[in-house]
Structure 1
Amino acid sequence: MAELLRFDRVACIRGDRLLFEGLSLVLARGEALWLRGPNGAGKSSLIRLAAGLLRPAAGTVTRRERCALIDEAAALDPELPLRRALDFWARVDTVDGHAVDRAIAAMALAPLSDVPVAMLSTGQRKRGAMARVIASGAPIWLLDEPANGMDERARGLLVAAIAAHRANGGAVLLASHFSLGLKDVAQLDMGALA
């Protein structure tokens, strides 16, 4: 399988604290890696390194394709209706409105399209953020606690979206405190790296 993301002997320091060092991993098309571990173990930092938002203290991170990120911020304009907020990102990602339509359908957001993002619940905003990732067309998904605030039905939609992305040759790097029930997912215990 074609390699999309590679970490070669990566170290991460946040503040004065070494979170991990000598970390090497490869994520290829169709693969998923679940980052597990306690708070402060470096899961979010590893996701940020993969996104290029942090620089490694040592080693190299290589991305061979575009990536899309979910983290604690939905990255959707709170003043805009959900559809318009997603359309903004579609223009940034240079994808057409049909990609947004498919993403809205995948996350069952059609009834909320005209609701301002600020009026959405936490779980609805997470679904909106996931729709942004889906619509982006990015082959690498970086998902930091994507199911936080989601109910059981929404988690099912998230799992289905991840499975479809992988089946289409995408890769997923996922940080989560709990299993989403994904099939054939590799695991990395970040707590064991310290």
Structure 2
Amino acid sequence: MNLTVRDLAVARGGVPVLEALSFTLAPGRALVLRGPNGSGKTTLLRTIAGLQPAFEGEIEGAGERIAYAAHSDGLKSMLSVTENLRFWAQVFAQTDIEPALDAFDLRGLEERMAGTLSAGQKRRLGLARLMVTGRPVWVLDEPTVSLDTASVARFAEAVRRHLAEGGSALLATHIDLGLGEAQVLDVTPFKAAPRVSLEDEAFL
């Protein structure tokens, strides 16, 4: 099932930041969002993930199919690595956390409290949550923050494996992850034009 966006406008603080945006993301494909800081990429991803309403337009194929990873790692500091993954697996009615431990090089850290991990280890654990959701569409906002070169490579491999298994990925990143035929969408041309409210018109 495709993730389809039609004539979408998204707003930050009630003010539209992007508009007239349309795309289709098919299973097995990745779409990389590009654009300068503040251009609306995070707002777009949050809207598609269902964390805020669209200002205008339609989103199809999202909802319960989305697994979202943002700047926060979403960890419980007083739970161990294993307990964190098991917690998220249970939230999504999944059970197997072993592939996630392997994919993100978390072996040897299973019993460590999340609050004692380094920034990079926390990030790897936060991204490992994606693999225990069982959801086909990964929506990722700057996923490689705090990752070293080796960990970026592991993450890229996890995404490639997800795509090969029929999943899809929508991500904002400035790093080339080597995802082959990934589409690239620059959001800059979709910057929303200033809108004049009825209150403003009274002073024109």
2:177, 2:73 → 1: CA distance?
20
What does the per-residue CA deviation read over 1:82-129, in whole Å, with 9 as the maximum and x for residues that have no partner?
110110011111111x2x111111111011111111111121111101
Mapping of residues 8-27 of structure 1, within 5 Å: 8-27=6-25
Aligned residues: 190
165, 188, 199: which one pairs with 1:168? 165
How far 1:16 sits from its partner (Å)? 5.0
Report the secondary structure of 1:109's partner residue: coil
Report the equivalent of 2:91.
92
Distance 2:56 2:15 in 1: 14
- CA displacement 1:59-89 (0-9 Å, x = unmatched): 1111255211110111111111111011001
CA gap 1:179/1:192 in 2 versus in 1, 3 angstroms: farther
2:40 maps to 1:42: yes
Pairs within 5 Å for 1:101-116: 101-116=98-113
Match of 1:143 in 2: 140
Contact persistence 1:71–1:143 (CA under 8 A): yes
Match of 1:153 in 2: 150
CA contact under 8 A between 2:69 and 2:143: conserved in structure 1? yes
- TM-score, with normalisation over the residues of structure 1? 0.94
Number of the residue aligned with 2:78: 79
Structure 1 gap segments, 5+ residues each:
none
Normalising by the residue count of structure 2, what TM-score does the alignment of the two structures yield?
A: 0.89
Tell me if the contact between 1:38 and 1:177 (Cα under 8 Å) persists in the aligned partners.
Answer: no
Q: Distance in 1 between matches of 2:73 and 2:156?
A: 18
Judge conservation of contact 1:32–1:171 (CA < 8 Å) in 2: yes
**Structure 2 gap segments, 5+ residues each:** 192-204
What do residues 103-162 of structure 1 show as CA deviations (whole Å, max 9, x unaligned)? Answer: 111111011111111111121111101111012111000111110000011001001000
Assess if the C-alpha contact under 8 Å between 1:36 and 1:189 holds in 2: yes
Letter paired with 2:83: R
| Structure 1 CA distance for aligned equivalents of residues 61 and 117 of structure 2 | 33
2:129 is the counterpart of 1:132: yes
Does the residue aligned with 1:9 lie in a helix, a strand or coil? strand
Instruction: Tell me the distance in 2 between the aligned counterparts of 1:16 and 1:103.
Output: 38
In the TM superposition, what are the counterparts of 1:116-127 in structure 2 within 5 Å?
Answer: 116-127=113-124
Partner of residue 7, structure 1: 5
Deviations 1:33-68 (A, max 9, x none): 000111111111111111100111101111255211
Identity across the alignment (%): 36
**How far did residue 24 of structure 1 move?**
0.8
Partner Cα distance (1:50, 1:16) in 2: 16
1:178, CA displacement in angstroms? Answer: 2.5
Larger radius of gyration: 2
Give the SS at the match of 1:161: helix
